[in-house]
A and B are shown apart, each in its own frame.
Chain A
Amino acid sequence: MEDKQNYWSENLRLIFICLVIWFVVSFGCGVLFVEPLNEIRLGGYKLGFWFAQQGSIYTFVALIFWYGKKMNDLDKKYNVEDA
């Protein structure tokens, strides 16, 4: 029971970290701070525009795989893997 509690809080911590990044790259860089970021160029892209139309999507993919990997480790650590 204790173990399940710890497993869950470690999971929640991971989710929190991921969602902060998720928020920053999309709502942050892509919407709220798009104007200052647009002052910076990435080739032909304005940086804020790039985040909104490219960068956020790449980050989402990386986040999901990173979370999946971390959770597999966590499942092993607490010995709660399913069959």
Chain B
Amino acid sequence: MDELKLYTWIAVGGTFGLYFFLAWWARAGSTSEFYAAGGGITPLQNGMAIGADWMSAASFISMAGLIAFLGYGGSVFLMGWTGGYVLLAMCLAPYMRKHGKFTVPEFIGDRFYSRTARIVAVVCLIIASVTYIIGQMKGVGVAFSRFLEVEYEMGLYIGMFVVFVYATLGGMKGITYTQIAQYVVLITAYTIPAIFISLQLTGNPIPQLGLGSTLADGSGVYLLDKIDQVVTELGFKEYTTSSLGDVEMFAYTLSLMIGTAGLPHVIMRFFTVPSVKAARQSAGYALVFIALLYTVAPAVGAMARFNLMNTIEPAAGQNLEYAERPQWFKDWEKTGLLQFEDKNGDGKIQYTADATTNEMVKVDRDIMVLANPSIANLPNWVIALVAAGGLAAALSTAAGLLLAISSAVSHDLMKGVLMPDMSEKSELLASRIVMTISILGAGYLGLNPPGFAAGTVALAFGLAASSIFPVLMMGIFSKKMNSQAAIAGMCAGIGVTMLYVFQHKGIMFIPGTSFLGDMKPNWFFDISPNAFGSVGALVNFVVAFTVLKLTKPAPQEIQDLVTNFRTPHGEIAAAHDH
């Protein structure tokens, strides 16, 4: 066993041991602890746990890789996945915390005084969360395949097993403490290599400043200008201005933002804080911890792209000999996620924007963050740390999502609607069965994911954006909003979005079932399926307000309920009937 492998086993094994220990140590007893950890968590702790929950394989493993190749266009992820917290902190979290329920469908069911509304919300939530988990599975598969030096498929199977053991072991209480540990591991693993690389390239140890600095080679040229020059010489689009198009940038960012504020596994976190004030604060702390990674990510992306280009072509025309390729190149070739084809037979690697001469036939975006420290020749322990961090990110989010799905089915659907007199024990059992089915389903779909991890996760955000977010907003800000309007809005919003996504990406992402190719000429107003959630949300709002005009407004007691949860003071009688 070589040094790198040894370190990786120690880092991954050690951190996993810690998570399992914490999950076991704080394992859940009653159902109320299982879902919401009894309410005794401080805003700072909760913020950190939300950070870990939030930053998944998409943020850690995938996002910087996408930014590396999209350049400015990658900003949609940066703004989109942080801006939603502003909406959460001001428009949703405080009032939903005041109302005081365990799950999002429960809130929707109460506010719209309708069992049907609750069931529709459960279905929307499951569709969005399962899509989200497919993205995580892709990330887990990439991380395990590299770490264990197996093919991607094998890495995915191993990942499914680990997620399964982990998620069924502890409920949210276990998860809250483990997630704090996971946050620390993942942020350390993300920033240490970034600091090293920033120092190497620019002499500035702070990546956020390094990205705006001059190169350390004494040329006095700014890093970003140099990247622009290198990539345009090979025919790629200029890094700092390569836009996805104004409409797409706008719609994509909006979809991710409102999806953030509509994803149940994040909103659920705000039910575990002790007060309305703490709910507002938690959102702030969460974003601080998230911003630590999100402001480093653009530096990681840009520097990874620069190092990759420089390794393959250190100076114009002096391409790397394939026979002399570095070890990381060989390692990633084993996973099948990096492929080279010597098209012109000169034994050298040509990497260009032109598909006919480009010899790097496959560079999976999702390998960039994990490969980054080796490309920059960082010490082996740093590389090992990144592997552990990537797995922490994927695992924590997968567990949080599985909890949201299982509580939606067992708590909202079965106990809330189908079998109200179900015992706590069978509710726990049901939730574990649901988790198992979800893992198997998401794992199967992860074999042929509908995109890179971050892209797949973006689809999940679109689905949440088009269904859950608008009804929560209308439920809080419009007293008159009634059940018929909310149900029609949710169905129309998610319906339109699913139709658009599935016609381009395949029904439930099963390959070969798409009836329109996923290509630009088929897009509505140049909006990609990943960004379509914002259109879906608009449809949701329009349909709901139209139906409201044609039907009677919500009854007085519901309007009083809304008045009540708009102010922090006072109890809501129905809030603690569990």
Contact = CB atoms under 8 A, between A and B. Distances in A.
Interface of A: 4, 7-8, 11, 14-15, 18-19, 22, 26-27, 30-32, 34-35, 38, 42-46, 49-50, 52-54, 56-58, 60-61, 63-65, 67-68, 71-72, 75, 78-83
A72 B277 contact: yes
A56 B82 contact: yes
Interface stretch (B175-183, B291-299, B461-469): B291-299
Interface centre among B90, B213, B567 (most CB of A within 10 A): B90
Interface of B: 67, 72, 74-75, 78-79, 82-83, 85-86, 89-91, 94, 98, 208-209, 211-214, 222-225, 240-241, 243, 246, 249-250, 253-254, 275-277, 280-281, 283-284, 287-288, 291, 294-295, 298, 563, 566-570
Given A54-B208, A57-B294, A64-B86, A27 B563 contact: no
Given A4-B563, A19-B86, A61 B280 contact: no
Contact of B224 (A14, A44, A58): A44
A27 B213 contact: no
Nearest to B249: A31
Contact of A26 (B74, B253, B570): B253
Query: For chain B, what secondary structure do more than half of its interface residues adopt (helix, strand, loop), or is it mixed?
Result: helix
A31 B250 contact: yes
Contacts of B208: 54
A57 B79 contact: yes
Given A4-B566, A8-B566, A44-B212, A38 B277 contact: no
A19 B90 CA distance: 9
Interface centre among B72, B94, B222, B291 (most CB of A within 10 A): B72
Given A57-B294, A64-B284, A44 B214 contact: yes
Contact of B250 (A14, A27, A65, A67): A27
B83 A26 contact: yes
A80 B284 contact: no
Contact of A67 (B222, B254, B280): B280
Contacts of B566: 4, 7-8, 11
B72 A52 contact: yes
A49 B240 contact: yes
Query: For chain A, what secondary structure do more than half of its interface residues adopt (helix, strand, loop), or is it mixed?
Result: helix
A53 B78 contact: yes
Nearest to A80: B569
Contacts of B275: 82-83
A75 B568 contact: yes
Contacts of B209: 43
A18 B89 CA distance: 11
A10 to B, nearest CB: 12
A45 B78 CA distance: 16
Contacts of A50: 212
B397 to A, nearest CB: 20
Contact of A44 (B83, B213, B280, B291): B213
Contacts of A82: 98, 275-277, 568-570
B212 A45 contact: yes
B253 A38 contact: no
B287 A60 contact: yes
A45 B211 CA distance: 8
Nearest to A63: B86
Given A18-B90, A32-B246, A75-B568, A53 B284 contact: no
Given A75-B568, A82-B568, A64 B222 contact: no
Interface centre among B83, B211, B213 (most CB of A within 10 A): B83
A60 B567 contact: no
A52 B254 CA distance: 13
Given A4-B563, A38-B240, A61-B291, A67 B90 contact: yes
Contacts of A8: 566-567
B222 A44 contact: yes
A64 B291 contact: no
B240 to A, nearest CB: 5
B213 A60 contact: no
Contacts of A72: 277
A53 B281 contact: no
Given A52-B79, A56-B82, A65 B214 contact: no
A26 B276 CA distance: 27
A7 B98 CA distance: 16
Given A27-B250, A54-B298, 14 more contacts: A19-B90, A26-B83, A26-B253, A30-B79, A31-B250, A31-B253, A32-B250, A35-B241, A45-B212, A49-B240, A54-B295, A60-B287, A61-B288, A64-B284
B281 A68 contact: yes
A73 B91 CA distance: 18
A22 B83 contact: yes
Contacts of B276: 82
A56 to B, nearest CB: 5
Contacts of B288: 61
B223 A57 contact: no
Nearest to A38: B241
Nearest to A62: B284
14 contacts: A4-B566, A18-B86, A27-B250, A27-B253, A30-B75, A31-B249, A44-B222, A49-B72, A54-B295, A57-B294, A58-B291, A64-B89, A72-B277, A78-B567
Contacts of A53: 67, 72, 74-75, 78, 298
A42 B94 CA distance: 37
A71 B250 contact: no
A43 B567 contact: no
Nearest first, the 8 closest Cβ-Cβ pairs linking A and B are A44-B222, A52-B75, A80-B569, A43-B212, A53-B298, A64-B284, A44-B212, A82-B568
